[in-house]
Amino acid sequence: MFDALAAALDGSGPAILPLDPDLPRARLNALLDALAPSAIETQEGLERPVSSRAGHANAKGISPETALVIATSGSTGPPKGTELSAAALRASAAASLRRVGAASGERWLCCLPTFHIAGVQVLIRSLLSGTTPLVVPRLEPGALAASGCSHVSLVPTQLRRLLDAGDDLTAVKTILLGGAAAAPGLLRAARSAGGRVVTTYGMSETGGGCVYDGMPLDDVSVDIGPGGRIRIAGPVLFSGYRLRPDLTARARDGRWFITSDIGSISPSGELMVRGRADDVINTGGEKVVAAEVEAALGNCAGVRDVAVVGRPDREWGEVVTAVVVPVDPSQPPHLAGIREHVRHRLPVHAAPAGLVLMPKLPMLASGKPDREALKAHVAEFGGADPADG
């Protein structure tokens, strides 16, 4: 993967489309049909042409500037193939290295899937730094200190596990944290433990994280468009969606990429991400941003991890439901306490009307909560306070 990416970036090799080798066969075939690569290389090194796959016999061409195609995580909606040029990928990685002050020769620890943009960017930062990354399939306790690396990219779940294991977060110079919103309590705990944690915001279409600790990277512009939609411009942007000019046109407004997130910009220029536009819960005519409720519950007593979804309801349309992983399963939080905590921080209609307990949240490989699985679980198990039986 590392060698193939290096060749794609310098133009000596073809563009690459990294895919999860553990995908179910049906899902893998659906991706191959949608994105139509000209060849497949397996772990055994076998290749076979697939240019004649259904519907794409005459649509296999790709721009010579494209170095990478990333299949979107699929947290909502069907997957898309995001095409990124070598120039965009290099611009993103170089801006990231400058922002965190990473010096040439400093090594990166890669513990994120390299079929997602965050993992790929660790490889590209390593290439630009003149180093080879240390790739580990799973981040075990003690891995930071044992790695000898200077920088690492993590998702919140990984950071939480390191904290729980008592890992020395000062063993690395920088922890880039992205993939999902981090609870304020998690950030406080990690920084109190001495970790230099830099939060990142971005997506495949922006070449990965392009806003660090709320501030855009060099040459990146952020704006708020109609409906509160976050818009991003700059040299890090994708070229388009593979074989989907209709989706590309919908996502672009001149130089701007229109994200699926809503947010605001402070007077000092700091971007505040409220959440995904499609994660807005409409309850009795009032709109609730799920991510804002999750952030409010991030430091609620007894809550280890939380996701908020809407549960269909005949009377209200949807009811706000908190899916909570308790700190102590023998003493879980109650709905009344959850509601009271949120009501002190957000409008009353944002207070959850339902509570579902889980031993852990279902996650996508990208490190984001699997919202479709969460909604299905909530629909099955309801949302009454478990303490009420």
Mean pLDDT of 116-135: 97
At residue 59, the pLDDT reads 42
pLDDT of residue 100: 98
110 pLDDT band (50/70/90 cuts)?
A: very high
| Residue 218, token pair as written in the block | 């060099």
**In the predicted structure, residue 222 carries a pLDDT above the cut 90:** yes
**pLDDT of 191 strictly over 70:** yes
Enter the tokens of residue 34.
């949608």
Give the model's pLDDT for residue 57.
37
Does the pLDDT of residue 64 top 60, yes or no? yes
Is pTM beyond 0.95? Reply is no
- What is the tens place of the pLDDT at every residue in 283-321? 988 889 998 999 999 889 999 999 999 999 888 889 999
Residues 320-350: pLDDT tens digits?
999 999 999 999 999 999 999 999 999 999 9
Q: Burial, 109: exposed, middle or buried (Cβ in 10 Å; 0-12, 13-18, 19+)?
A: buried
pLDDT at residue number 152: 98
Check if the beta carbon of residue 200 is closer than 8 Å to that of residue 176.
yes
pLDDT over 90, % of the chain: 69
- What pLDDT, on the 0 to 100 scale, is given for residue 60? 58
Label residue 383 by pLDDT band (50, 70, 90).
low
- Length of the chain, please? 389
Percentage of the chain beyond pLDDT 70 is 93
143's tokens: 């891995």
Residue where the block lists tokens 């990928």? 89
Cα→Cα distances 123→4, 86, 127, 150, Å: 11, 13, 6, 14
- pLDDT: which is higher, 61 or 30: 30
* pLDDT given for residue 325 in this prediction: 94
pLDDT band at 128 (very low <50, low <70, confident <90, very high): very high
Indicate if the pLDDT at residue 229 is higher than 60. Answer: yes
* Average pLDDT over all residues of the chain: 90
Helix pair angle (290-297, 335-343), 10° resolution: 110
Q: What is the pLDDT of residue 384?
A: 57
| Residue 163 burial by Cβ neighbours in a 10 Å radius (0-12, 13-18, 19+) | middle
Which domains are present in the chain? Answer: 2-201 (3.40.50.12780), 277-388 (3.30.300.30)
Tokens of 309: 């979804």
Give the amino acid at 341: H
Confidence grade of residue 55 (pLDDT, cut at 50, 70, 90): very low
Residues 85-94 have pLDDT tens digits of 999 999 999 9
pLDDT band at 259 (very low <50, low <70, confident <90, very high): very high
Find out whether 372 and 76 touch, Cβ atoms under 8 Å. yes
